[in-house]
């Protein structure tokens, strides 16, 4: 064997999901016969809704297995545009919608067309861990702004004013957010948009949990202006995680650039998935999805008070997504060690704060209420014993 080859410098800054190590350990415990409650992964227990699965099967039977255009199936771009119009009250032309391999693909394209080496993107800490890695991938610099309960863990224009530099080209927010489940309302989004437009920068709004909102606005930043990027996905609300399908709503003058980059980096998103997703907006499917939203709400309404009662501090009631993010210092000064013991001793897998940044990394953990109520009840019973 030759000596280990040099690896690109960016890879020293791109971290794996730490929860994957916990997941692997959970799998080993399960192989030994232990029962583990999985509240660590951001993937619901629900199957893809039957109307979508059936549409996927029909597409396969009909031979829809060839490439689509890089920007996606025209019929799907139109269906998403109608969804924005009818459900979210936003006027979005189909031409501004680019279909991507998951929201991951959308983030890759948007960062790819915006970032020169050294350019900065302002984002929250805690936040979705891949965001800063997408920026690093293109030789940019993520500027992670510590946020807390005083702003619902969201960026404000005051944050941007403090952290915007000559090199900043974009700000990124998520609503509902991961890991905190908080929302950025219309007023806040307007304020952020005014700021970024004033500085000639871009606003990127991650709405991949859009639809999973239990109180407050289930809207879209796309209603505010054409001059921002909205990222969305069929994974979470629509229950299509493994199909890998998402989209971006882009400013008109950026679509050609996104198309070019998509042609080169992906060719196109999955064709069967695109055909299946056409069924996502049918009344039969929307009815299933609404019922699931109510199930998530019931889970939140059970788990949140139960964990608070055990001593987890959750200062802001999460209003969307399927996450509870709380201060665990009542149990341990080190949330990673806590997550490990929680798995080993209580058989409950949760995600350490480390996966969402540095700011609250050692004092916080995330619970994903992606399991059914009886399972959550069992988890709470185990935690009660473990944390006593």
Contacts with a copy of itself in 128-157 (CB under 8 A)? 129-130, 133-134, 137-139
Residue with smaller CB distance to a copy of itself, 61 or 388 = 61
Taking the complex as a whole, the smallest distance from the CB of residue 3 to a copy of itself amounts, in Å, to: 8
Q: How far is the CB of 230 from a copy of itself (least distance, A)?
A: 15
What minimum distance in Å lies between the beta carbon of 216 and a copy of itself? 28
- Is residue 241 a contact point for a copy of itself (CB under 8 A)? yes
In whole angstroms, what is the distance from residue 21 CA to residue 14 CA?
16
Cα 20 to Cα 14: distance, rounded to the nearest angstrom = 15
User: What is the phi/psi pair of residue 333, to 5°?
Assistant: -80, -10
Among 191, 227, 340, 372, binds a copy of itself (CB under 8 A): 227
Q: Please state the closest distance from residue 121 (CB atom) to a copy of itself, in A.
A: 12
Q: If you ran DSSP here, which 8-state letter would residue 138 be given?
A: T
Residue 53 beta carbon to a copy of itself: minimum distance, rounded to whole angstroms: 5
| Min separation Cβ 309 and a copy of itself, Å | 32
Alpha carbon distance 365, 211 (integer Å): 24
Q: Which is nearer to a copy of itself, 194 or 377 (CB)?
A: 194
Q: Supply 357's token pair.
A: 């940044």
Q: Cα separation of 57 and 80, whole Å? A: 21
Burial call 251-270: b when 16+ CB within 10 Å, e when fewer = eeebbeebbebbeeebebbb
Three-state SS string across 294-343, please?
Answer: HHHHHHHHHHHHHHHHHCCECCCCCCECCEEEEECCCCCCCHHHHHHHHH
Burial class, 216, CB count within 10 angstroms (exposed 0-12 / middle 13-18 / buried 19+): middle
Nearest to 54 by CA among 282, 296, 269: 282
Q: Which of residues 315-374 bind a copy of itself (CB under 8 A)?
A: none
3-state secondary structure of 126: coil
CA 77, 79, 81, 83 dihedral sign is negative
| Of positions 39, 97, 169, 230, contacts a copy of itself by CB under 8 A | 169
Strand 246-249 and strand 202-206: the pairing is unpaired
Q: Which stretch binds a copy of itself (CB under 8 A): 204-212, 238-246, 278-286, 295-303?
A: 238-246
By DSSP bridging, strand 246-249 and strand 229-233 are: antiparallel
Number of residues that bind a copy of itself (CB under 8 A): 81
Residues 247-276 within binding reach of a copy of itself (CB under 8 A): 251, 253-254, 257, 259-261, 263-273
For residues 26-85, which are near a copy of itself according to CB under 8 A? 41, 43, 47-48, 53, 56-57, 60-61, 63-68
Does residue 200 interact with a copy of itself by CB under 8 A? yes
Q: Which stretch binds a copy of itself (CB under 8 A): 89-97, 195-203, 317-325, 358-366?
A: 195-203
137 versus 178: smaller Cβ distance to a copy of itself: 137
Q: With respect to a copy of itself, which residue has the nearer C-beta, 6 or 150?
A: 6
* Residue 8 lies near a copy of itself (rule: CB under 8 A): yes
Closest approach, Cβ 213 to a copy of itself, in A, equals: 23
Nearer residue to a copy of itself within complex by CB, 185 or 226: 226
Parallel/antiparallel/unpaired status of strands 364-368 and 351-352: antiparallel
Q: Map the footprint of a copy of itself across residues 287-316, applying CB under 8 A.
A: none
Cβ atoms of 23 and 343 within 8 Å: the answer is no
Q: How far is the CB of 327 from a copy of itself (least distance, A)?
A: 27
Nearest approach, Cβ of residue 300 and a copy of itself (Å): 21
Structure tokens at 15: 């971290």
């Amino acid at each position: 064997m030759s000596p280990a080859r040099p690896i690109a410098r960016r890879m020293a800054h791109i971290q794996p999901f730490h929860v994957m190590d916990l997941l692997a350990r959970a799998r080993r415990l399960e192989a030994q016969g232990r029962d583990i409650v999985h509240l660590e992964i951001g993937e619901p227990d629900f199957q893809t809704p039957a109307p979508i699965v059936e549409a996927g099967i029909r597409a396969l039977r009909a031979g829809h297995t060839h490439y689509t255009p890089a920007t996606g199936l025209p019929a799907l771009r139109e269906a998403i545009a109608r969804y924005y119009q009818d459900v979210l009250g936003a006027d979005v032309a189909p031409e501004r919608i680019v279909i991507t391999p998951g929201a991951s693909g959308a983030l890759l394209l948007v960062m790819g067309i915006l970032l020169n080496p050294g350019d900065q993107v302002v984002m929250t800490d805690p936040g979705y861990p891949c965001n800063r890695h997408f920026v690093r991938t293109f030789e940019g610099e993520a500027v992670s702004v510590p946020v807390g309960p005083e702003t619902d863990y969201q960026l404000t224009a005051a944050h941007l004013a403090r952290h915007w530099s000559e090199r900043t080209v974009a700000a990124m927010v998520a609503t509902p957010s991961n890991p905190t489940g908080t929302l950025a309302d219309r007023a806040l989004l307007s304020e952020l948009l005014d700021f970024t437009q004033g500085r000639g920068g871009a606003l990127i709004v991650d709405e991949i949990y859009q639809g999973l909102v239990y109180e407050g606005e289930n809207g879209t930043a796309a209603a505010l202006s054409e001059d921002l990027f909205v990222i969305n996905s069929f994974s979470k609300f629509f229950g299509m995680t493994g199909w890998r399908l998402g989209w971006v709503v882009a400013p008109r003058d950026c679509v050609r650039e996104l198309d070019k980059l998509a042609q080169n980096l992906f060719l196109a998103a999955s064709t069967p998935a695109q055909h299946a997703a056409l069924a996502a907006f049918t009344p039969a499917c929307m009815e299933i999805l609404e019922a699931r939203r109510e199930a998530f709400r019931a889970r939140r309404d059970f788990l949140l008070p139960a964990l608070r009662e055990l001593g987890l501090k959750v200062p802001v009631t999460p209003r969307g997504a399927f996450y509870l993010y709380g201060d665990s210092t009542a149990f341990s000064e080190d949330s990673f060690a806590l997550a490990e013991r929680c798995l080993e001793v209580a058989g409950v897998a949760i995600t350490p704060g480390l996966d969402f940044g540095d700011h609250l990394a050692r004092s916080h953990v995330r619970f994903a209420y992606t399991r059914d109520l009886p399972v959550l009840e069992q988890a709470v019973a185990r935690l009660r014993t473990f944390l006593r």
